[in-house]
Structure 1
Amino acid sequence: MLHDKDIREPLFDFLEETYGKNRILEEKRTGRSRADVVMVTPKALYGIEIKSDADTYARLAGQVKDYDKFYDYNIAVVGSHHGEHVHEHVPEHWGIITAEESDGSVDFYFLRQPQCNPGRKWRWKLSLLWRPELAQLQEWNDMPKYKDKSKLFVIRKIMERIPEKLSEETLSQQVSEILFERDYMKVAELLAEYRKGELQKKIEQEEDPEKRREMLERQAKMQKNFVGKARPRPRRRRRSRKRQVL
């Protein structure tokens, strides 16, 4: 019987051999679900749900619904016990990979290749990016900075450019490029610096002395917390592929 831990490591090697350049993100929050694996390729994002021989289909319906909002392609990776019936539980556009034990190792086979997900929404796919990463998209596409606006506001502004000013193909490539370059060791610094810049702008615009003083105190507290807590965790590397638990 194959368990999740038996499948993951050899699966990542199989994906690298099959798709070439990729980055693996594990345990990514996806709506109300948590994607086991998100595979970033140069042109698309793949949501991958692992159902080992020890798993059931109890939560799969909800997971399918969530995955289909976020990812360009989706794949179910199942133990051999599920091979005969998994197609009854996932849509036709989902790919299916079976994992089978063979001479002490795990072999993988495509029962069905994934097709482009017709339900993927840019609103949800772009939400996978951090606010500073959305700012990078804005810069690349000559958009206003909207520094005082929310993440959702910026996402909607980017979406308004599709397809007249920004093709879906180009935007997908840009999202993948950002996720390839994402550095989890610098995440605290990146977010702190971005928020500090937003707060600094508000301080400069504030005319009420009392409110200005409160904002300066908040800025100092943010800096103190960053210095005390921002301790980067080491990132494990395997071959040329990047993996990170998100």
Structure 2
Amino acid sequence: MLADYAIREKLLMRLHKDNQNKSYRVIEELTICNGAVRVDVALANGVFHGFEIKSDLDTLERLPKQVECYDTTFDKNTIIVGERFVDKIEQHVPKHWGIEIAYLNKFGNVTLKKIRRCGSNKSVEFKSLLDLLWNNELKNLLKDHKIKGYSKMKREDLHLAVIENIPFKSVKDYTRETLKTRIGWRADLPLT
């Protein structure tokens, strides 16, 4: 039976290999939906991609809430499951989610096999993206779009000012790029 750490290690190796010589950041244990859900692995490169891992030792009990929050936050989503869930996972995630199975190959190494390719997610929401940004980052976004009067605004008002004045695509791009390049965030997140 594969545990989360073995699957995660293989996923992280693949993400770093696939993105070498590119601008990207891999973020483990990212909280989304105002802290309601913790993402196993997020990738910010040209898109914002969430990865949920359900090892053979896990349950699918929290998955509905996780799917809901991932879908309001990420451009693409993939679930990686142990062999225990391979026969039933399709009924638990939307059709645009990618599905991979993790198993031990004949050499005793973890293999990740794509069962279904992920598609674009059309359910991303302003609020979920804005929740990921710090107040100074929200103010910089408003400043970059020449919006005035934000300097003493509270967080909720900053959110409203962004929603009312800045196109959604600009907010998606800004959030992804900000998370990709943020400095002084967490010691475990070096710039790559």
Calculate the TM-score normalised by the size of structure 2. Answer: 0.86
1 CA distance for matches of 2:5 and 2:51? 15
SS at match of 2:165: coil
- Sequence identity percentage: 32
Counterpart for residue 7 of structure 2: 7
1:79 and 2:112 equivalent? no
Looking at structure 2, the residues matched to 236 and 120 of structure 1 have their Cα atoms a distance apart, in angstroms, of: 24
| Structure 2 unaligned regions, length at least 5 | none
- 1:49 partner SS: strand
Q: Does 1:109 align with 2:109?
A: no
Query: Residues 190-229 of structure 1: matches in 2 within 5 Å?
Result: none
State how 1:11-26 maps to structure 2 within 5 Å.
11-18=11-18, 21=22, 22-26=24-28
Q: Distance in 2 between matches of 1:49 and 1:60?
A: 9
Change (3 A) 1:82 1:71: same
Q: CA 1:141–1:234 in structure 2 vs 1: closer, same or farther (change >3 Å)?
A: same
Alignment counterpart, residue 28 of structure 1, candidates 27, 30, 34: 30
Does the Cα contact within 8 Å between 1:123 and 1:156 map onto a contact in 2?
no
1:78-227 to 2 correspondence within 5 Å?
Answer: 78-102=81-105, 103-144=107-148, 146-162=150-166, 166=167, 168=169, 170-183=170-183, 186-187=184-185
How far residue 236 of structure 1 moved from its aligned partner, in angstroms, is 6.3
- Secondary structure of residue in 1 paired with 2:70: helix
CA contact (8 A) 1:40 1:176 kept: yes
AA at the equivalent of 2:112: F
Q: TM-score, normalised by structure 1?
A: 0.69
- Root-mean-square deviation (CA, aligned residues, Å) is 2.1
The one-letter code of the counterpart of 1:52 is S
Distance in 1 (CA, whole Å) between partners of 2:138 and 2:102 is 37
CA shift, 1:89, in A, is 0.6
Where 2:118 maps in the other structure, the secondary structure is coil
5+ long unaligned stretches in structure 1:
188-232, 242-246
The 2-side partners of 1:156 and 1:38 are apart by 26
Instruction: State the partner residue of 1:230.
Output: none
Offset from partner CA, 1:66-86 (integer Å, 9 cap, x none): 211222211111112222211
Bigger radius of gyration among the two: 1
Q: Post-superposition, which runs of at least 4 consecutive aligned residues in structure 1 deviate over 3 A?
A: 16-21, 233-237
Report the CA distance shift for 1:97/1:25 in structure 2 as closer, same or farther (over 3 A). Answer: same
Contact 2:147 2:165 in 1 (8 A): no
The structure-2 alpha-carbon separation of the partners of 1:55 and 1:167, relative to structure 1 and needing over 3 Å to count, comes to closer
CA distance 1:145–1:14, shift in 2 (3 Å): farther
Match of 2:52 among 49, 54, 58: 49
Q: Is residue 67 of structure 1 aligned with residue 70 of structure 2?
A: yes
Code of the aligned partner of 1:14 = R
Residues 147-194 of structure 1: per-residue CA shift (max 9 Å, x gap) = 2112222222222234xxx461x43332222112112xx35xxxxxxx
